[in-house]
Each structure stands twice: as C-alpha cells, then as structure tokens.
Amino acid sequence: MKEFIVREEPFKQGMAQRVPTPEQGECILLYQTGAGESGSMLINCGLKYSSAKVRRGRYNQKVTFSLESKEMSQSDRIVMVDSDFSFHVSFKISYSLYDVQKYFFGGAVDEEDIRHTVRDTIRAHNAKWDVRQGWELQNALETGIEKSLARYEGVKFRVSELTVTPDEAALKMQQSNRDKVVGIHVAENETDQRLAMNEQSMRLARSEQELKLKQIEDMAFMMKHFGNLAPIVNEYLKNNVNGVQLYDYIMKGKTDEMSMLNTALKNDIISQDDAFEKLTEILKNNGFLQTEGLLPDKGEARIEQSGNEEEKEEIKEEIEGESADEAQDVLSANKKYI
C-alpha cells in the first residue's frame, strides 16, 4: 500500500526557509533517519507551524502522503458443506490513512499482504455453509474481513461491496429445492381444500339424512293419527291446501267409501249388520275436521267440558246414537238395493 506515498526526498530546514506546506488532500511527514516515530513531525494542510521547531527537530527526510481514500477489489471461492458446490465471493475494500506516523513507522503494509490476509479470512469459511445460507455467509464475511484488517495500524479499512452467489450447479440445486418446497406447500393446500370440501359434503349428507329421517318420523306420526288422510292433512298443515280443499277431499273420501259399501251390500259381499257398523265408523271419523273448525262439533267439546264421568258417558252415548241414526238413514236410503 505504498500508493499513499506520493514522494520521498531529503530535507533540510534552512534559516530563511519557510516550513513546507502540503497540497489539499495531502500531508507531509518530516523525520530524522533512525529516530523512529518520536523523531518525526506531521504537517497537515491549512495549519501553521514554527520554522524554529522544524529546525530544532533536525529532520533530514521528507515524505508526502495522499489522504484520499483508495480501493481494492478481489474475488474468491468458498466450498460449501457439500464439496460439489461452492460460493463465488467478490468484494471491494475502501481504505484510507487515519494515522500517518503509525502507518509509516509501523512498516507500511504491502498490498499483497493485505490480499493474503483477506484470502485467508474468506477460505476459513470453507465447508461451513450450505446453499441456503448465502446471506448469513455474506454478513459473516463482512465482519470477518474488517476485523482481520484492523491489525494494520494507521489505515482504516471498510468493506464497501460484497456479493456471495452460489455457483451454477448450486443455483440449480437451490431452485430444485425451492420448487420441491413449493410443490409440498401446494399439495398440502390442495389436500386441506379437499379435506374441507369432503367435510362440507359429509355435513350436507348428514343434514340431508337427518332431514329424511325427520320427514319419515313426521309421516309415521301423521299415518298413526290420520291414517290414509295423512298426506292431505300434511299438505294442509304446510298451508299448501286450504280448509275448503281439505274438507272436500275428506268428504269425497267418505263418499267413495260409502259408495263402495253400497256396492258391497248390493252384491251381498257383507252383511247388513257389518255394513251398519262400517258406516257408523265412517260417519264418526270427523275428529280432525271438527278440531280445525271445518265441521260442527257433535258433542266432543261437551265431553271435555263435563264435570263428572257419568255426564261424559251420557254425552258419548248421545253422540254414538246420533251417528247410528245417521247410519240407519243411509242404509234406509239404500234398502232398495239390498
């Protein structure tokens, strides 16, 4: 690094001579041969110095130094943990004098010595890093290089640029690993999505199954209480048919039953007593219509309102008698067929 030294020349301060003045960006070191740092004097630009002091020093050498920052660049290779791959390392180091006397009398370092120090620092990282650790290696190198150069006195070093890149084969491996990781994440996401869809489908299936079971239970309840009338009563409860339509449907059913009973009597399929019993049952089966207010109450409400069992029995007998009379009237109207 002798490029800091602009020139070296003999020096003698005469009685009438002025103290030498350095140019901007330079400084001058005066020294006495063999006296070392203690027998030297540094003259900086823009400051005034006593010529008497210079003469008393009996300095016989004059060295002019450049204070401008310098730069050096270098590249190297670091082998990865897997020795088939490596990192390419390139960097620039800026450096400048901060203590001229220590630099000069400490033995002005040679640039090749600096390069050798940096090279040793870099290669100390061989077989310690893999392809995924480029950033960590870069930080470690920057710190390590500046620390290793700190032992050179009088010069301040700074890593101004540093790049660490895997070689082509390592880059391909890194991309392959990245693609593999992405593929795994994509597959996991797709699996999660399918699991979520399956779970939703299972929930829907369970819901539909529960709905069907509820519908079956409801229909069984309707069949138990309303027999063949269950479908039309169910539609009525859902407000799909009105009371008039329900009444017409039930009355039509009763009319059809009485017509079939009449046909059975005409053809001697059943006896008159059986026909009478069946007809009484048909005419009595109006409970739902009466509950809904679609037929007049023939006494059932009176049974519920009665205060004692004897009165209830009397009302029941009265209702049954009325139904029997109606049945008798129907049979009488059909006697010509019997």
Compute the distance between CA of residue 44 and CA of residue 97 in angstroms, rounded to an integer: 13
pLDDT of residue 136: 92
pLDDT of residue 296: 44
pLDDT of residue 189: 78
Please identify, in words, the CATH class of the domain defined by 70-166. Answer: alpha beta
- Listed range (31-35, 69-73, 253-257, 293-297) with the worst mean pLDDT: 293-297
- Residue with the bigger pLDDT between 185 and 336: it is 185
pLDDT of residue 212: 86
pLDDT in tens, 272-281: 677 667 666 6
Compute the distance between CA of residue 169 and CA of residue 166 in angstroms, rounded to an integer: 8
pLDDT above 50 (res 76):
yes
pLDDT of residue 316: 57
Compute the distance between CA of residue 154 and CA of residue 8 in angstroms, rounded to an integer: 19
pLDDT above 60 (res 315):
no
pLDDT of residue 271: 76
- Residue with the bigger pLDDT between 267 and 127: it is 127
Compute the distance between CA of residue 37 and CA of residue 53 in angstroms, rounded to an integer: 16
Q: What is the mean pLDDT of residues 22-36?
A: 93
Q: 249 pLDDT band (50/70/90 cuts)?
A: confident
Cite the DSSP H helix spans in the chain: 51-57, 100-105, 111-123, 134-149, 168-226, 230-237, 243-266, 272-284, 287-291, 300-305, 309-333
pLDDT of residue 283: 57
**25 and 34 in contact (C-beta within 8 Å)?**
no
pLDDT of residue 306: 55
Q: Which amino acid, 142?
A: E
pLDDT in tens, 194-233: 887 888 888 888 888 888 888 788 778 777 777 777 787 7
pLDDT above 80 (res 331):
no
**57 and 30 in contact (C-beta within 8 Å)?**
yes
pLDDT of residue 186: 74
- Residue with the bigger pLDDT between 263 and 323: it is 263
pLDDT in tens, 289-313: 555 554 444 444 454 555 566 665 6
**26 and 45 in contact (C-beta within 8 Å)?**
yes
pLDDT in tens, 140-191: 999 999 999 988 889 999 998 999 998 888 778 777 777 777 777 777 777 7
Q: Which amino acid, 301?
A: A
- CA nearest neighbour of 173 among 138, 132, 136: 132
**334 and 265 in contact (C-beta within 8 Å)?**
yes
Q: What is the mean pLDDT of residues 84-103?
A: 91
pLDDT of residue 298: 43
Q: What is the mean pLDDT of residues 110-114?
A: 83
Kindly list the domain boundaries of the chain, sorted by start residue: 2-66, 70-166, 168-227, 242-337
pLDDT above 50 (res 244):
yes
The chain-wide mean pLDDT, for the chain, equals: 79
pLDDT of residue 329: 52
